[in-house]
Amino acid sequence: MMAPRSLFSLVALTCAVCSCDRVELPPIVASAPGVTIRSNNPMSSCTASLSFDLHRILTDLLGVIQPVEVVRLENLHPWCISTAGGCARGSTVFTLRDFDPHEMTHGVFAHAGRSLPFLEEGVAELAECVLGSPPYSPPERRVLDEDLFFRASFVDVESEARVTASQFVAFVISSIGWRPFLALYDDVSLGSSRPANAQRVAEAMGMPWEELLMLFEATGRKSLVELCAAHSPAFGVGALETAQVQCLPLATGEIVFGARGTIASDVEQSVSVTMQGRGRLYLRASQLVEPFDTIVMDVGIGRSIAVGVFAPQANEFEIWTDGEAFGEMLDYSIADEVECPTDSPTPTEEVERIGLFVAGAVGPARVALQGRSDARLIVLSAENAELRICLDCVAATDCVTTTNGYYQLSAGQTYYIELTRASQETEHASALLGVIP
């Protein structure tokens, strides 16, 4: 258990920021054991549950209960002096977002008092993995020296320094585990000298300080995608097969309805998604290993089917829609074997849009469609796509050809719509088709 240190009171900090002018906080709009949320705008129970769930996860990590108060504001003045989207004053979080895992982590970790800002920021940056794997970018190379490690404040610090902090925290956790890291987090502070703090870090890692810095530079410089792949399970991001369609936070700050999870298997896997109403369907697939390819697909509005096939490697997959009502019409399934969909083809009148994609060196993504008189298919968009629409799934024979950009279908006939990569040099392929009565 992490031992609390003495903290400056919130009143004293507030006086320092706003000269003790009286500024009333917004009213309470949601609460749960250990969490109070304030806002001038109503907050849905689904959105509030994101903060409740993260508080529970962080509490489990710490092994103690740290009550937090989340204050949702439209303007951070006078509470925060940073130009960022929020700040934490002890266990009180001020934020511009309905759900802010970064600042909530600062608030919950306030139980231990102040650690080194470098470690505080590293943990909070890592917690943002609950928003989904970020787009790939090469690992940052901000030199980790003592001036950065023992920096007194991370207010308005450059992004490279924040990434370096998250890389180092992930490096330590991967080396010694969460519990020893939390003990180290509690054992260092700005109240101790640099040599004393350096000695405590070195002892926790079992090597001299200079050797530790060199080892980090040699092995700890991971991309944010790799950091999230390794550590997001600690923050509640699990396998897609166990995920539920529910309130889902996005890195954009939006709160939508959908599911997020990882897919990892020794064989090819396919994910089939259906939107049974007039909601808008979005898909996002990210490879968590090289080449870190990402596919984002806006299937559009209407009754939709989407099928994706993944290579046998680690991936993260997201599906979502706008609005809780449409979230209830969203469903998905996962199959370990990619086979011809010979059973129960979807009647043409039950679908308006079809999305297909493949990620990696995999077999085709397929949908079976039952035709009707005068129905046509049109390709709305395609990327690196080789499309075939055939009467025989196994032999891929008797394929329909396009006429004036349309594929003409016949009543009672089953069609197999198949997508493969046109160029093997490109990691993925995608296609979006519309069904026209």
Task: Assess whether 257 and 405 both reside in one domain.
Answer: yes
Provide the angle, in degrees to the nearest 10, between the axes of the packed helices 159-176 and 117-127. Answer: 90
Q: Which of residues 232, 247, 279 is at a domain's end?
A: 232
Q: Which two tokens stand for residue 296?
A: 């984002």
User: Do 249 and 223 share a domain, yes or no?
Assistant: no
- Put residue 291 in one of left, alpha, beta given phi > 0 → left and psi -120 to 50 → alpha: alpha
Domain count, the chain: 2
Statement to judge: residues 253 and 197 lie in one domain: no
Is the model's pLDDT at 12 over the cut of 70? Answer: no
Determine, yes or no, domain membership for 5: no
- 194 and 110, same structural domain? yes
Whole-angstrom distance, CA of residue 183 vs CA of residue 186 = 5
Across 98-107, 334-343, 374-383, the highest mean pLDDT is recorded for 98-107
20-54 confidence digits (pLDDT tens): 456 789 999 999 999 999 999 999 999 999 999 99
249 and 197 fall within a common domain? no
Give me the percent of the chain exceeding a pLDDT of 70.
92
Of 232, 259, 286, the one marking the end of a domain is 232
**Among 4-8, 15-19, 390-394, 433-437, which range has the highest average pLDDT?**
433-437
353 domain-assigned: yes
State the residue range of the domain holding 296: 238-436
Assigned domain for 274 exists: yes
Query: Own/partner pairs for 211-218, CB < 8 Å, 24+ apart?
Result: 213/144, 213/145, 216/144, 216/167, 216/168, 216/171, 217/144
Whether 398 is covered by a domain: the verdict is yes
208 shares its domain with 273 = no
Residues 137 and 86 in one domain: yes
User: For residue 204, is it within any domain?
Assistant: yes
Residues 138 and 60 in one domain: yes
Pair 172, 211 in one domain: yes
Query: Which residue did the predictor score with more confidence, 7 or 367?
Result: 367
CATH number at residue 194: 1.10.390
pLDDT grade for 332, boundaries at 50, 70 and 90: very high
> What is the DSSP pairing of strand 86-89 with strand 92-95?
antiparallel
Domain presence at residue 192: yes
104-152 confidence digits (pLDDT tens)? 999 999 876 779 999 999 999 999 999 998 988 888 778 899 999 999 9
Say if residue 317 is in the same domain as residue 394: yes
Q: How confident is the model over 13-20, as a mean pLDDT?
A: 43
Give yes or no: residues 265 and 150 share one domain. no
Reported as a pLDDT band with limits 50, 70 and 90, residue 379 is very high
Q: Establish if 2 belongs to a structural domain.
A: no
Residues 161 and 286 in one domain: no
Is 370 among the domain residues? yes
- Prior bond to 208 cis, omega within 30? no
Among 217, 232, 247, residue at a domain's last position: 232
